[in-house]
A and B are shown apart, each in its own frame.
Chain A
Amino acid sequence: MASEAHGAEGGGLVFHPMDQFIVKPLFGDGPVAWYTPTNVTLWMGITILAVIALLVLSTSKRAIVPSRGQSVAEMAYGFIYKMLEDVTGKEGVKYFPYVMTLFMFIVLANFLGLIPMAFTTTSHIAVTAVLAVLVFLSVTILGFIKNGVSFLGLFWVSAAPLPLRPILAVIEIISYFVRPVSHSIRLAGNMMAGHAVIKVFAGFAAIAAISPLSVVAITAMYGLEVLVAFIQAYVFIILTCVYLKDALHPHH
């Protein structure tokens, strides 16, 4: 009783805000091997279905005057295409399917994670780290393929005075290797924090006196999370575009 910090009434106040992130097997209760179908599998599968519904089924009529669903698909296409073209120029456009894949996966996983009782795949550092490392590796390899050794010019700030350049080069190299870390933790951290906070507020709803406040807080947080779900996907993709631009045009 003394350990109950929040002074629960009667039944006690039980917080499990992180339980929603536990990876569980879908069938049975065994260990989680690499191939086990888990809730990760389920929600990634639902994400795939959502992508297909949004981009394939809604455009099946190929209407000149689009339906609502087709408009959304065209807007998503135009949004990412324009962003990629604006940031990387014409040369970057051929990587559009790759960028679009990342965007559709992240934005739909984020939104699907907002459904009550859902599992948010993008709240896991394992998932976002893979995404970020994919971007990091492909951009680095692409940079060397496109520019050869002169890709290293990215770290040599020729605009700075000569004595400063080695120091700047060290900073540039560190910042380059920190990119995938910040890239992945930003997304996972935002998703996890928002969901955990909503869950904490939901825990307070057990106390009758503050439950109305709790409901209001959950509603407000949910609205904020809807915004965050989109903005984090947008941020992830625009950073991907910026890194891609660095690989295509490494000189400052």
Chain B
Amino acid sequence: MATETHEAAGEGLADAVGVAAHSADAAPGMPQLDFGTFPNQIFWLAVTLVVIYLVLSRVALPRIAAILAERAGTITNDLAAAEDLKAKAVEAEEAYNKALADARAEATRIAAATRAEIQADLDDAIAKADAEIAEKAAESEKAIADIRAGALAAVEEVAKDTAAELVAALGGKSDAAAIDGAVGARVKG
């Protein structure tokens, strides 16, 4: 292209990077070395730095420092509170365990007392029953003895009657007194 001129030939860095510099104006290859713009840049840089410095030192940095300090404080407080709560929880657990142990001991005591009471009642009842049984047994024994005595008397009488009848049937004259004596002697024997 004929329009693509090389006016900038020989300009240091512009050519070093393989550049055809602007053909319109004769500005140097590096705008960085255009000293005419230096006062402008330095002035605006000074303004910028002062503004940023004021914004940072007056507003931003104290605020961020406060936020960080507050957060550190909150974390410390929360940790302390957590420690507190943990201690309280341990305490509560101990109290609970103590109450549990107390209740268990109380229950054991009540159970033992109840058992003793029931045992006493039981012993009483058994003694009473034994006494009743003994009484009933004695009564029964007496009744049996009576019955046995009655039976013996009946046996003697039946034997006497039978003997008298036998004597009469054989043609003898029954002598009541002799029969009584003989039967009595036999029955006893």
Contacts and interface: CB of A to CB of B under 8 A. Distances in A.
Interface residues of A, number: 66
Nearest to B13: A18
Contact of B43 (A5, A16, A34, A64): A34
Contacts of B29: 18
A224 B59 CA distance: 34
B14 A18 contact: yes
Contacts of B70: 62, 64
B44 A15 contact: no
A121 B2 CA distance: 34
Interface in B67-113: 67-68, 70-71, 74
Interface in B1-29: 1-6, 13-14, 17-22, 27, 29
A196 B17 contact: yes
A92 B55 CA distance: 21
Contacts of B39: 33-34
Contact of B40 (A18, A33, A74, A134): A33
Contacts of B40: 23, 32-36, 38, 40
B41 A74 contact: no
B61 interface: yes
B162 interface: no
Interface string A179-191: 0000000001000
Interface of A: 1, 3-6, 8, 12-19, 21-23, 31-36, 38, 40-41, 44-45, 47-48, 51-52, 55-56, 59, 62-64, 66, 70, 73-74, 77-78, 96-98, 100-102, 104-105, 121, 123-127, 130-131, 134, 188, 192, 196-197, 200
